[in-house]
Amino acid sequence: MKIIEHPDAMQETALAARAAGRRLALVPTMGNLHEGHLSLIRLARQQADDVIVSNFVNPRQFGPNEDYAAYPRTFAADCRLSEAAGADIIFHPSAEAMYPPGSSTIVAEESLSRHLCGASRPGHFTGVCTVVAKLFHLTQPHIAIFGEKDAQQLRIIRRMVNDLDFPVTILAAPTCREADGLAMSSRNRFIPAALRPQAAGLFQTLNAAETAYQNGERNANNLLTLMQQTLARTAPDAVVDYLSLVDDETLQPLSGAFTRPALAAIAAHLGPPRLIDNRRLAAEA
Ligand code: AMP
């Protein structure tokens, strides 16, 4: 496995591999890898000749009061885990190499980004789109893999690829969970031990919504009330950022009766960390 730090070297390597007819997969990560990330790398391994894992804590997607400096960085362990899961190349650039002085171009998605996490994290998805566009140019992937855990991010990246004609196929990977249902996340380690049992409340809340939906509930207000009650019961100390039911395609908030597939989504603080989780509600699911 090769570690590449410089963006130019990454692009030269990727262009040469493509010219040699190799099929490339990219798995973008911010490092501190857990089983969720590794499942994406394993999926990439099945789909491509060369698997590139980017390992870059992107400063542009953190707000001024967010945890960029404190974000866990465990590069040596990440390298071992990436290699074992099937990575061929780790792209590990510095922030200065990715954003040299004078860098002033951004990629902004202006519709899906207004909702859910975009509403409470202004600029976050512009940071995500900008770095993913750069990563696509630098690693030249045929396919790129993103987790359903970050459902809004996945939808925004699909939209960006479509709108800006990137020749990349986006694959979605299911959310990996702890035994009690908590979605794996690099931020879970910061949940205070006393509050940890409540973290499964997000999962239980989404389960409640899905069960009601499968039993025929199609009124958004009823589903939202059920979700609020379930979260209040299962995670009384959670400080809710949002608890929403949105159209799965447009991410517009739903109210009253709905017919199209929906996305139930939650963001809540449990102690310092902000946890997110979601569930797609669709008749065919
Ligand atoms: P991150 O390092 O948090 O930027 O995540 C990198 C990629 O891993 C993103 O596509 C995430 O959606 C995905 N991911 C994060 N957590 C999980 C999880 N628990 N299960 C599956 N994929 C995940």
Residues 276 and 133: their CA atoms lie apart, in Å, by: 24
Candidates 254, 230, 258, 233; CA nearest to 244 is 254
Residues noted as catalytic: 37
Q: Which residues have CB under 8 Å from 199's CB, separation 6+? A: 180, 182, 188, 191, 235, 270, 275
Q: How far is the CA of 230 from the centre of ligand 1 (A)?
A: 25
Question: Which residues have CB under 8 Å from 270's CB, separation 6+?
Answer: 191, 192, 195, 198, 199, 235, 237, 238, 239
Q: Is 173 in the pocket of ligand 1 (CB under 6 A)?
A: yes
* Residue (of 222, 235, 226) closest to 208 by Cα position: 226
- Give the integer Cα–Cα distance in Å for 93 and 75: 12
Listing from the earlier edge strand, what are the strands of the sheet with 239-247?
239-247, 262-269, 274-281
User: What separation in Å is there between the alpha carbon of 150 and the centre of ligand 1?
Assistant: 7
Q: SS3 letters for 147-187?
A: EHHHHHHHHHHHHHHHHCCCCCEEEEECCCECCCCCECCCC
**Cα–Cα distance, 4 to 9 (Å, whole number):** 7
Helix axes 220-234, 201-214, angle to 10 degrees: 150
Question: From the CA of 257, how far away is ligand 1's center (Å)?
Answer: 32
Task: Name the residue at shortest CA distance from atom 12 of ligand 1.
Answer: 147
Mutate to test the pocket of ligand 1, among 43, 132, 150 (most ligand atoms within 8 A of CB): 150
Determine the pLDDT at residue 186: 94
- Note whether 175 and 183 are within 8 A (CB): yes
190 burial class (0-12, 13-18, 19+ CB within 10 angstroms)? middle
244 pocket-lining for ligand 1 (C-beta < 6 Å) = no
Two structure tokens written together for 4: 């590449």
User: Is 203 touching ligand 1 by the criterion CB < 6 Å?
Assistant: no
Q: Sign (positive/negative) of CA torsion 284, 27, 160, 62?
A: positive
For ligand 1, whether the C-beta of 53 sits within 6 Å is no
How would you write the pLDDT of the chain (285 residues) with one tens digit per residue? 999 999 999 999 999 999 999 999 999 999 999 999 999 999 999 999 999 999 999 999 999 999 999 999 999 999 999 999 999 999 999 999 999 999 999 999 999 999 999 999 999 999 999 999 999 999 999 999 999 999 999 999 999 999 999 999 999 999 999 999 999 999 999 999 999 999 999 999 999 999 999 999 999 999 999 999 999 999 999 999 999 999 999 999 999 999 999 999 999 999 999 999 999 999 974
In angstroms, the CA 34 to CA 243 distance is: 26
Whole-model pTM: value is 0.98
* CA–centroid distance, residue 146 to ligand 1 (Å): 7
Which atom of ligand 1 lies closest to the CA of 183? 19
Atom of ligand 1 nearest to the CA of 147: 12
- Assess whether the C-beta atom of 152 lies below 6 angstroms from ligand 1: no
Does the CB atom of residue 40 touch ligand 1 within 6 A?
Answer: yes
Instruction: For ligand 1, pick from 124, 149, 275 the residue to mutate: most ligand atoms within 8 Å of CB.
Output: 149
Q: What is the pLDDT of residue 284?
A: 72
